[in-house]
Copies of this chain bind each other. A is one copy, B any other.
């Protein structure tokens, strides 16, 4: 029995490359291509692929994590494999939490992709060794769970906003902002806004 695959990537060149790579693999049939998350969702509901091979960064519209979540809530739900260039922690964990069956970096060899698709079609997970290492380490000291408000503040902070500006933006007083900041700092394990901005970028929380 052959595995049906939908390709999702905003780069035509990458889609072409994947098509070439996967056509070489036995038992894999590409049933469609999408350039955006929205497209991927509608195509999936029509074509019912076994596996959706999806990039994380999808240009204009919704991102890969949101797309994954939407796809996984369909019935029947396809297995979703993330194939991307980036390895920001927040995105890796976000994708897995959203129900991805695997997370591959584009620098992997073609055979790995084929194998991962087979695995995903069988209902399994596939993670490259460094990714699984990352995940288990992520379980050990998990990303601090910021509350909604704290995340808003952190995003503003990452743009270089001052306390006063953040207070204006969020319609609260500076005291409130400072309160949020203290919580953010302790959760992130830093002691200055500059370092908070740094880890925000590093982990992809921005």
- Seen from chain A, the residues whose Cβ lies within 8 Å of a Cβ on chain B are 10-21, 57, 59, 83, 85, 106-110, 113, 157-162, 190, 192-199, 201
Q: List 7 A-B contacts (CB under 8 A).
A: A12-B109, A13-B106, A14-B17, A16-B17, A16-B20, A160-B195, A161-B195
Chain A residues touching B, majority SS = helix
Q: Output the nearest chain B residue to A13 by Cβ-Cβ distance.
A: B17
- Interchain CB contact (< 8 A) of A17 among B15, B194, B199: B15
Copies, count? 2
Nearest neighbor of A16 in chain B, beta-carbon distance:
B17
A198 and B159 in contact, given A10-B107, A11-B107, A106-B11 (Cβ under 8 angstroms): yes
Point out the residues of chain B lying under 8 angstroms from A109, CB to CB.
Answer: 12
Q: How far is the CA of A194 from the CA of B157 in the complex (A)?
A: 8
Chain B residues in 8 Å Cβ range of A157: 194
Which residues in B have their C-beta under 8 angstroms from that of A17? Answer: 13-18, 20
Whole-angstrom distance between the alpha carbons of A25 and B201 in the complex? 40
The reply to whether B194 and A160 form a contact with Cβ atoms under 8 Å apart is yes
